[in-house]
Structure 1
Amino acid sequence: DEFKGEKTIVLIAHRLSTVKNCDLIFLLERGEIVEQGTYAQLYGSGGVFRSMVDQQNLVSREQDEQAV
């Protein structure tokens, strides 16, 4: 957040929550852009990005339950 508005940053993230505040997200599949938009737009469209976020959230919840 400290560089917001000052620079263009390319961020590659495994955890999709990392890109929640990015201005623009590109989802690549086999080197091709398959979706682009903000986090809210991509999640709201119900496409590949939403499936990935939902899957990560499910795995996270399962790991939390196992830790208890």
Structure 2
Amino acid sequence: MKIEKVKKNAAGDITDVMINGNIYSVDEAIMLARDKKIEGVNVAKARSGREYLRSNPDGNEANNLDNLPTF
């Protein structure tokens, strides 16, 4: 499974992701990523303790989550 598109709120934070045409909340996607079911991402933790999705570094900025098409 791979994230194809993202949905952002007014502040620019990703709130949902689209995988194979299905929409998942960020929390659901974090659980899938923890279980290694989404390729190309990992779960990181902010200083606040909040978990978030992060693209695996590969030198290609075009596939970073913030640069994916929105829906």
TM-score, structure 1 length as denominator? Answer: 0.31
**Structure with more strand by fraction:** 2
**Structure with more helix by fraction:** 1
Q: Which has the higher contact order (CA 8 A, sep 6+)?
A: 2
Q: Bigger radius of gyration, 1 or 2? A: 1
